[in-house]
Amino acid sequence: MILSILIPTYNRSVFLIKNLELLLGFMNQSAFKEQIEVIVSNNCAPDDTDSVVKKYIEENPSFKLHYFKQANNIGLEKNALFVLEQSKAAYVMYLGDDDFISFEYLEGVLKHVSSYKKTTVIIPAFYNIDLSGARLGLGRDHNFPNKIFPKGFKSCFINSHRGHQMSGLVLKQDGLLKEYKEKEVQNIYLFIYFVAYNCLRGDTYHFPEFPVQVTNPGQQSKDWTYGEDGLLNNVFNNYAKLELTKVQITKLQLVFYKKQPWRLWNYKKLSTKKFMQAFVKIWLVTNGTFLFKITFPLQVIWLKLYAELKTMIK
């Protein structure tokens, strides 16, 4: 088996069935049909996911679809680890239940991993769509060229922040779950760790040619929030567990904030007080390095001034 497509799902049966129908159509077109399977884990959703998926399996007996229903809601992280644990394929692709890949992306992934054996991670571009499927903006990595990055810290520095969006990520499965558990990583952004670890141990293929469609707004009934620190302590937990120097870990933490400063500035929309509380929470996060704590306030000021300068120039 070359590829397992992993779909941890919760409370979105309509989107899930649409996704399964697309994937079945792609598999029927592909010369790799026998080398692809789909693994779905229903995180004890209160909607009709269980009944509609079981009916779909009955109506499509040739579809290599493995379906599981959790007895209780085990949370996002454990559900994502559960589907990984069920796979026996060489590579896994994570996919949100309401996010959609193209046939061209799937075909390109399969051809690449069959030809380039050193590849341990493939990262797509993406753009947002609304609930009707209409495109919202250009998205991330629009018009970037496809590129292979040799294994090492440079690749990790350039690419690991892209692991915040799981859909379409392709990961070499061998040893991945074992590594995650042995390092005692534990957070809802586990895909950042998966990408960072795989960037360090093998080649990375940045494959933005066929972007993933990510539904926005996302899950209305999600059972998590951004808390009081934009979940940056969760993000930084991934970097803190890598076998890197403190300087390298600091660089990864700073570049992540640089790429996603909205994790702080969203609190400004609530109130100045909330913003200042979030600033302090992020500044003093447990998983931040000492060097991050020294540098972070300066980075916030510099990025804000730079953004204002760009606006003035325009």
Q: Is residue 224 part of a domain?
A: no
Do 155 and 276 fall into the same domain? no
Over residues 276-283, mean pLDDT: 97
Give yes or no for a contact between 124 and 212, defined as CB atoms under 8 angstroms apart: yes
Tell whether 149 and 40 lie within a shared domain: yes
Beta strands in 24-168 (DSSP E): 36-42, 65-69, 91-94, 99-100, 119-129, 135-140, 147-149
Q: Are 62 and 163 in the same domain?
A: yes
What does DSSP say about strands 119-129 and 36-42: parallel, antiparallel, or unpaired? unpaired
| 272/206 same-domain check | no
Residue 221 covered by a domain: no
- Of 215, 247, 268, the one marking the end of a domain is 215
Indicate the residue among 215, 245, 266 that finishes a domain. Answer: 215
In a domain, 63, yes or no: yes
CB 204 within 8 A of CB 149: yes
User: Does residue 39 sit in the same domain as residue 103?
Assistant: yes
**pLDDT > 80? residue 222:** no
Q: How far is residue 113's CA from residue 146's CA, in Å, rounded to a whole number? A: 14
Q: What is the pLDDT of residues 25-78, one digit of tens each?
A: 999 888 888 899 999 999 999 999 999 999 999 999 989 999 999 999 999 999
**Same domain assignment for residues 99 and 237:** no
Whether 78 maps to a domain, the answer reads: yes
Asked if 42 and 74 sit in the same domain, the reply is yes
Quote the number of domains for the chain: 2
Domain boundary among 183, 215, 247: 215
Q: Which domain holds residue 88?
A: 3-215
This prediction's pTM = 0.94
Q: Is 225 part of a structural domain of the chain?
A: no
Read off the pLDDT of residues 135-151 as tens digits, 9 standing for 90 and up: 999 999 999 999 999 99
> Is residue 180 located within the same domain as residue 240?
no
